[in-house]
Amino acid sequence: MNNIHAIILAAGKGTRMNSSKPKVLQTLSDNTLLGHVLVQAKAISQKVHVVYGFGGDQVQQTINDDSINWVEQVEQLGTGHAVAQAMPHIEDDSISLVLYGDVPLIQPQTLGQLINAAEDSGIALLSVILNNPTGYGRIVRHNNIIQAIVEQKDANAEQLEICEANTGIMAVNTQLLKKYLAALNSDNAQGELYLTDIIESAVNDKKIVESIITTDEFEVAGVNDKVQLAELERVFQKNQAVSFMQQGLTLKDPARFDCRGTLNFDQDCEIDINVVIEGDVSLGNNTTIAANCNIKNTKIGNNVVIFPNSVIEDALIGNGASIGPFARIRPEANIGENAKIGNFVEVKKSTIGKGSKVSHLSYVGDTTIGSEVNIGAGVITCNYDGVNKHQTTIEDGAFVGSDTQLIAPVTIGKNATIGAGSTITKDVPDNQLSLSRSKQTTLKNWQRPTKK
């Protein structure tokens, strides 16, 4: 059967989050909890239904996905009641896959096994063996055959000793599911309609309830507070780091590395500690990123060195370039081949040509710099007049002396030299020295003040 409908339960408020956002909108890495579940659900199902409640408008606006069937649960009367809200939208001849919007690390291969089991038997659940299953419903078996799921508050002393716990995730033939949901009652400690009670109904109906037992407790872990959210963040990052290292990336300490986006890399790349990757980042061959760097939506070429404490966003870094330490490369910066951006340099919406150097304490904005240009320490392109931004052009081979202000719009010609300490307001011709400097004066009889 290929007609799979995913039902994601996402109606909870998440009071323990102490947040104005619904629980499913809390973020793990670069995505919401619900967003992570949606990725896995879409990978394996033909249609996704999200059952929402608290903050429903906020949830729908944040996810902003027209392919989802949004189903409102006006009253929160239990998991069985929540699933029942989606049933009118699902054909009998299908498999309903029940997921949870606060269980973000579930894997599609596990769900695939669960669906296959349900196609054979009509009903299958996902369980996990826990050393401490407190709070979870217990899987009750007889001769290794599942008989029921007993919730923690309804379990007797013998049942509380069971270590096989229910994850809540299950796959059920939709026609059977509709039948069993209609028979649910709220005769339990919570006074709710438990989805788990359909297991007993299936057993009474002489159905064999299949199970898939996951060996990864974090894959099925839910998030109820910020502590658990942080725990799963580290698991998520560790899993990514392991995958990257298996593909050949060198991580100096995988426990101190975060990828909150997509990272692609070629051979022999190395990343030091406390590096944060965001958005879509790619690295060429033999590229090194030193400690404490933040890189977002950037393409980095071969043989590049990013020195410590640099921030790079929405930029292109050419082969052989070096950046930092303590550099900030802002959006729309294009750093050319073998160019150097040194310490405490900020580059914004500018092109730095091949072999050019901006080595220290400079700001380059709205500028086109040619090849083999040298920008001295403390140079500023004054691109903003308080209302509009203006362009600076520095042509090939130019030398701009330290502590120079280039008042845009202005063009510095080929192989021109700007004397240190100048304020340049007019275009500078090729191959000439230009400077603006007041006459130096020495007062022969001057004395330093003394402390009174």
- How much is the pLDDT for 273? 98
CA 251 to CA 235: how far, in whole Å?
16
Is the pLDDT assigned to residue 1 strictly greater than 60?
Answer: no
Tell whether domain 4-220 is in CATH 3.90.550.10: yes
Please identify every residue annotated as catalytic: 360
- pLDDT at position 189 over 80: no
Per-residue model confidence (pLDDT) at position 289: 98
Residue 328 has pLDDT above 90, yes or no: yes
Q: Mean pLDDT over residues 406-426, rounded?
A: 97
- Name the least confident of 35-44, 143-152, 381-390: 143-152
pLDDT classification of 2: cutoffs 50, 70, 90: confident
pLDDT digits (tens, 9 = 90+) for 115-135: 999 998 999 999 999 999 998
Mean pLDDT score, 275-281: 98
Mean pLDDT of 245-263: 98
Give mean pLDDT, residues 192-203: 91
The alpha carbon of 404 is separated from its chain's Cα centroid by a whole number of angstroms, namely 41
Give the confidence band of 187 by pLDDT, cuts at 50, 70, 90. confident
| Three-state secondary-structure class, residue 43 | helix
pLDDT tens figures, 292-323: 999 999 999 999 999 999 999 999 999 999 99
What does the alpha-carbon distance between residue 266 and residue 245 come to, in Å, rounded to a whole number? 12
| 49 alpha carbon, distance to own chain's centre | 24
Residue 190's pLDDT band, with cuts at 50, 70 and 90, is: confident
CA distance from start to end of the chain? 95
What number of other Cβ atoms are within 10 A of residue 93's Cβ?
10
Per residue in 79-91, pLDDT (tens digit) is: 999 999 999 999 9
Domain ranges of the chain: 4-220, 230-434
pLDDT for the residue numbered 437: 86
Q: Per-residue pLDDT averaged across 365-374, rounded? A: 98
- Per CATH, the homologous superfamily of domain 230-434 is Hexapeptide repeat proteins (2.160.10.10)
CA distance 197 to 186: 10
**pLDDT by residue (tens digit) across 98-108?**
999 999 999 99
**What is the band of 43 on the pLDDT scale with cuts at 50, 70, 90?**
very high
pLDDT at 350 exceeding the cut of 60: yes
Average pLDDT over residues 345-349: 98
Give the model confidence (pLDDT) of 216-246 as tens digits: 999 999 999 999 999 999 999 999 999 999 9
Q: What's the pLDDT at 87? A: 97
DSSP helix/strand/coil, 220: helix
Q: What pLDDT is recorded for position 188?
A: 80
pLDDT in tens, 370-393: 999 999 999 999 999 999 999 999
pLDDT at 358: 98
Average pLDDT for the chain: 95
Residue with tokens 């809540």: 168
User: Cα separation of 428 and 417, whole Å?
Assistant: 9
